[in-house]
Amino acid sequence: MKTPVTVTVTGAAGNISYSLLFRIAAGDMLGADQPVILKLLEITPCLEKLKGVVMELDDCAFPLVQEIVATDDPAVAFKDADWCMLVGSVPRKAGMERKDLLGINGKVFVGQGKAIAENAKPDCKVFVVGNPCNTNCLIALHNATGLPKENFFAMTLLDEYRAKSQLAAKAGVPVAEVTNMTIWGNHSSTQYPDFTHARIGGKPATEVITDSEWLKGEFIKTVQQRGAAIIAARGASSAASAANAALMTVKNLVTPTPEGDWFSVSSYSDGSKYGLPEGIICSMPTRTNADGSHSIVEGLELDAFSQEKIAASCKELLEERADVLGC
């Protein structure tokens, strides 16, 4: 039997976790033969609700689950963690941008970054879902003294899936035919879903969808505004699709990426790729290598339109960083 992997999930009694935890426990994230220890963090007033979630997890009798720890103490929750999935934070309401949450949520990631550095495994991976996820991830990174910068990630795979689904619908093909989709920049309304490198059925998306006005206009806008559209329709932010993307991001990060393709995840920009600024958590095309390391896909040509869109999103990330400096 494999050694169990310890997965810490914060916000464990929340909406996303209510989908996420059961799929992690079923083996959908780390594999059907990988035992897991689940460490679940909540704020004290939500411990009773978390108790109910743990009862339901118990009642699934998942064979891979070795132990479940439910706590309101970050030191206990992050103890020996291999994966720290930081979901816990307040979602936005209709009419807000995700960055409007920085004042409320940002401070959570100060304490959690410190608790991770002090308690989790030194080679643990930190993956932030709670919004605004890119800058929250940067806050956690700055506070997790001693942990490698390259082990910090924030979620933009949901945006990639949204983009793939829009392209597939427009082209009238199954979504699995859409590959090489990059989200550049911030998980926000400035993100750039890059249709110029996307492929449909192995061909450039721009050859299959020749309506460039749609690609440059409605397509980008729909992806950028999808989170807000879901809040407007559901009265609550995306949860099941967010849980799916969170799970699939970790799966992508632990599984060698199929030849020729890549996936979107936000990670630390060291300033050496595509002229992106140094010191932000920026979404980029990423591959997982056979040895488990991660590389940014290099050599993609960015036309003037793409460069302008990416620059606008990076500018926003720099502004968010400036807002939290000193946090």
Q: Using CB under 6 A, pick the residue from 113, 193, 227, 285 that binds ligand LMR.
A: 227
Give the distance, in angstroms, between the CA of residue 2 and the centroid of all CA atoms in the same chain. Answer: 26
Nearest residue (beta carbon) to ligand LMR: 227
Residue 40 CA: distances (Å) to CA of 68, 88, 186, 193, 316: 7, 10, 27, 33, 32
288 binds ligand NAD (CB under 6 A): no
Show contacts of 215-219: CB within 8 Å, 24+ apart: 216/305, 219/163, 219/166, 219/167, 219/170, 219/193, 219/195
Looking at 8-16, 142-150, 207-215, 284-292, which segment touches ligand NAD (CB under 6 A)? 8-16
Report how far residue 238's alpha carbon sits from residue 243's, in angstroms, rounded to the nearest whole number.
Answer: 9
Annotated catalytic residue 142: no
230, interface contact from ligand NAD, ligand LMR, none, CB < 5-8 Å by kind: ligand LMR
14 binds ligand NAD (CB under 6 A): yes
The one-character DSSP state at 260 is: T
Q: Does 11 bind ligand NAD (CB under 6 A)?
A: yes
Q: Which residue of 112, 131, 190, 286 would you call a contact of ligand LMR, by CB under 6 A?
A: 131
Tell me which of ligand LMR, ligand NAD, none is bound by residue 130, counting a contact when its beta carbon lies within the kind-specific cut-off of 5 to 8 angstroms. ligand NAD
| Nearest residue to 309 (alpha-carbon basis) of 208, 224, 210 | 224
Best CA proximity match to 132, nearest among 159, 158, 160, 97: 97
**H or E stretch covering 280:** none
Indicate which single residue of 6, 37, 42, 84 sits in contact with ligand NAD (rule: CB under 6 A).
Answer: 42
**Catalytic positions:** 187
Report the interface residues with ligand NAD, using CB under 6 A. Answer: 10-11, 13-16, 41-43, 46, 87-92, 108, 129-131, 133, 155, 158, 187, 237-239, 242
